[in-house]
Structure 1
Amino acid sequence: MTQNVEKGDDFSMERQRFRETFDILPDGAGTVLEIGFNDMRMSRLLGERYEVYGIDLPRLVDKGAQSEYGFRLSFASIEKLPFPDNSFDLVVCAQVLEHLPEAVLKRGVRELARVARRWVFVSVPYRQRVWNENYKCTHCGFIGHCMEHLHYFDEPRLLSLFPGWHSQCLELVGSQRGYAPDMLYRLANKLGNSWSTLHWKCTNCQQEPGSQRENPVGYIVRRIIWRLERRLPRRKAWMLALMTRRS
């Protein structure tokens, strides 16, 4: 089933998100902690302006990254950052929060606020209807979001996670297709066996999820969804927020 992104759009939107991110980030920061450095794309750009530290989970990254790029990298969880209070001028957390279970999310944002001296920068998908973009594993039957996103974020939801902080700058960037009515996605899933595609292993059983065989109902409903999405007003893709402590 469609995932609301036109072919080729995802790469150009990623470039736009990076560009907008660096327009928002403050010039006055010296030290920066990046949460989830992964493939090092943002780390390398941050390193041109700041003294960069990074944390991620060992299973998600190349352990040779530290020696290759010379950044101070640690392998740890967002729930328990191995740094004292107020350790960094700026903490950057881009495209991470949407993947965290609720309890981990709440503990994680408290840790971001704890180690940040002046600013926290966060980027998340904007008003993404995660319930409409599901895959179904052919092995275990698990149903989950096709990009493993767990949360719907808008401005009030994001800012509520950071009590004691206020938004210095908040931008909505990127452009994606609009959503058809929710009932059409549910109909495609339940009656049509038409699901989105997961491009890595199933969250539940850690096997390649395979492809479900949609039936004629699924094909028809998917075509209706596709046509509606193309005609509806486009929506913003991401929310970028630079937050500072309330005085």
Structure 2
Amino acid sequence: MDQLFIAERIKLKPVDNPTLLGVRQKFNEEYGRRFGKTKGTGLYSETDWRRLDWVLDQIPEDCRTILDVGTGPGALINTLALSDRFEAVNGIDVRQYTKFVSLTDKFTLDIMDATQMVFEDNQFDCVICMEVIEHLPDGKMEAAIAELRRVARKRLIMSVPFKEPEPLPHYHLQRFDEERIQRVFPRAEYELVGVERPVPWAFLTESFRD
């Protein structure tokens, strides 16, 4: 475990997932049609799409239900729904992103606080929560992590910025280094993921028995 952060980060390869490539094209077209921009908040960068491609490979083949926590502009939840891998695709966010893009009706999106989910225990085979918990204050962060674990049946995939320079940006309330990650996520496997980015993501995967 201690060796992880000494090794070089995983270099994200160009996107080669056919579903994701199709979603990327449609997402960018719809974003431009609705918001009249080719750049801006909500429009994913090359690195963001590569990261989603990497995350899709981490979802076990036997997972049939999935939850995206913190859907943001919607790139991941659209990809999950259009992949036809899952019997049920759900997403939650504390509020709908102002530039949310929907490409299909094959998912359910609820406005819900991650610290107080209404889902049943072990409802989803896989739960994904990317770049969410660093925005939460003490107390709420721990509550959200407990809820993520509660509703996940087989796998929980999370990501956080790793070793952000201080002072943190105003929208980040938590900082994660080796010691903090190992203390907050003692059961997780960790990998550093990033490309052409000063601060890599730490991806944390927890697996559960059926």
Q: Give the TM-score taking structure 1 as reference length.
A: 0.58
Deviations 1:38-61 (CA, angstroms, capped at 9, x unpaired): 211000112213231111123535
**What is the SS of the residue equivalent to 1:112?**
helix
* 1:36 and 2:36 matched: no
Aligned residue for 1:171?
A: 191
- C-alpha distance 173-25 of structure 1, shift in aligned 2 (>3 A): same
Asked if the contact 2:153/2:209 (under 8 Å) is kept, the reply is no
- Cα distance in 1 for partners of 2:165, 2:76 equals 26
**Structure 2 gap segments, 5+ residues each:** 1-43
1:88 Cα deviation from its structure 2 partner: 0.7
- C-alpha distance 245-158 of structure 1, shift in aligned 2 (>3 A): farther
Q: 2:52 aligns with which of 18, 24, 30?
A: 18
- Tell me whether 112-121 or 148-157 shows the greater mean CA deviation: 148-157
1:83 Cα deviation from its structure 2 partner: 0.6
Asked if the contact 1:109/1:161 (under 8 Å) is kept, the reply is no
**What is the SS of the residue equivalent to 1:69?**
coil
- C-alpha distance 45-68 of structure 1, shift in aligned 2 (>3 A): closer
* 1:153 and 2:176 matched: yes
Aligned residue for 2:206?
A: 243
Deviations 1:7-38 (CA, angstroms, capped at 9, x unpaired): xxx82321221122122222221100110112
More helix by share: 1
- Cα distance in 2 for partners of 1:11, 1:62 equals 15
**What is the SS of the residue equivalent to 2:117?**
coil
Asked if the contact 1:88/1:116 (under 8 Å) is kept, the reply is yes
Aligned residue for 1:139?
A: none
Aligned residue for 1:103?
A: 139
Q: Identity over aligned residues, as a percent?
A: 30
Runs of 4+ in 1 over 6 A off after TM superposition: none
- Cα distance in 1 for partners of 2:196, 2:144 equals 28
1:154 Cα deviation from its structure 2 partner: 2.9
Aligned residue for 2:94?
A: 57
Q: Give the TM-score taking structure 2 as reference length.
A: 0.68
**What is the SS of the residue equivalent to 1:102?**
coil
- Cα distance in 2 for partners of 1:155, 1:118 equals 25
**What is the SS of the residue equivalent to 1:78?**
coil
- C-alpha distance 93-159 of structure 1, shift in aligned 2 (>3 A): farther
Aligned residue for 2:157?
A: 121
Asked if the contact 2:73/2:101 (under 8 Å) is kept, the reply is no
**What is the SS of the residue equivalent to 2:50?**
helix
- Cα distance in 2 for partners of 1:246, 1:129 equals 37
* Number of residues of Structure 1 aligned to a counterpart in Structure 2: 164
Q: Which has the larger radius of gyration?
A: 1
Aligned residue for 1:215?
A: none
- Cα distance in 2 for partners of 1:64, 1:122 equals 22
**What is the SS of the residue equivalent to 1:91?**
strand
